[in-house]
Amino acid sequence: MINNTPLHHIKELAEYIALQYEEKITPVNRIAEHEELELFYDAYDKGTFDGMTVYTHNRFYIHLNTDNGNREDTERGRFTLAHELGHYFIDAHRIGLKKGILEPHPSIINRRQFNSIEREADYFASCLLMPESRFKQDVFKKKFSFQLIDNLCTQYKVSRTACAFRFAQIGNHPIMIVYAERGIVKWKLESDDFPYKWLLNDKNVPANTVMGEYFTQSNTRDIYKTEQVWAMDWFNYVKDRDTGRAFYEHCIPYKDKALSIIWED
């Protein structure tokens, strides 16, 4: 059995490693090389896994699946490698792999992780790629907009999803992130101080939202912009006096999937 590692320990460890390097884009490949880890960027078939850490013959090997877009120069590949470095640097994970307590297992990113080990590695990756002290310097005293997320993605070379997650954790403005497939909400995440916690239809994307219109209008509507929505359109338990409370929604669609970031002025 692998014991859980306190998140503040993971944060301190990841950020200590990241801050050894002066560049804002954390050089994850150089970190792996410094630890003498063997990296293999190979094609392991699409949809199978993103990354896997293996301990054999007294060495650690990290496999990254290029068929899923995990190349050295991509945001997805950088996050996957950072996640796998979490399995190596977090003591309980590394010892578990060495002793065979933690079996090598495929990591899959861009979906909410329910396994505590995977959540810890995801959190390590987030802290390694976007250390709090640096990230906050680029966030505070700036008015929130989707453009801010886009700018931060470029500065840290991470995906919009990873950046929005990190902003929800430590940013200076409350936001909610909703991800859906074929009109069904798969997961949501909100800042601790976001004013609403429950969606209107629980699992079905509400129709009178930017995301809802995307799914109901054959995915053809041009929604690559920020639009105003109302509290009563997205959220449950809205008080009568707040039915006209305005929010902003920016939806990022892709085929039968969509991710929306929602915030209030």
Both tokens of 233, joined, read 């359109």
State the alpha helices, DSSP H only, in 46-189: 75-89, 91-99, 116-129, 132-139, 146-156, 160-170
pTM of the model: 0.90
Position 242 pLDDT exceeds 70:
yes
Tell me what the mean pLDDT of segment 67-94 comes to.
96
Entry field: residues in the chain:
265
Tell me what the mean pLDDT of segment 81-99 comes to.
95
154 pLDDT tier (thresholds 50, 70, 90): very high
Tell me what the mean pLDDT of segment 140-158 comes to.
93
pLDDT at 106: 66
Give dist(CA 259, CA 251) in Å, integer: 6
pLDDT at 223: 66
Position 40 pLDDT exceeds 70:
yes
Choice between 141 and 138, residue whose per-residue pLDDT is larger:
138
Tell me what the mean pLDDT of segment 183-195 comes to.
96
Tell me what the mean pLDDT of segment 35-48 comes to.
93
142 pLDDT tier (thresholds 50, 70, 90): confident
pLDDT at 113: 43
114 pLDDT tier (thresholds 50, 70, 90): very low
Mean pLDDT of the chain: 92
pLDDT at 148: 96
Position 213 pLDDT exceeds 70:
yes
> Which of 204, 201, 207, 209 minimizes the C-alpha distance to 261?
209
Tell me what the mean pLDDT of segment 148-166 comes to.
96
pLDDT at 254: 87
Give the torsion sign (CA, 151, 80, 68, 181).
negative
Position 206 pLDDT exceeds 90:
yes
Give dist(CA 182, CA 205) in Å, integer: 9
Give dist(CA 194, CA 263) in Å, integer: 8
Burial 175-198 (b: 16+ CB within 10 A, else e): bbbbbbeebebeebbbbeebebee
Report in angstroms the alpha-carbon separations of 80 from 56, 88, 184, 188: 20, 13, 26, 21
In this structure, are residues 188 and 211 in contact, taking their beta carbons and an 8 Å threshold?
no
112 pLDDT tier (thresholds 50, 70, 90): very low
Give dist(CA 161, CA 141) in Å, integer: 22
Give dist(CA 160, CA 24) in Å, integer: 17
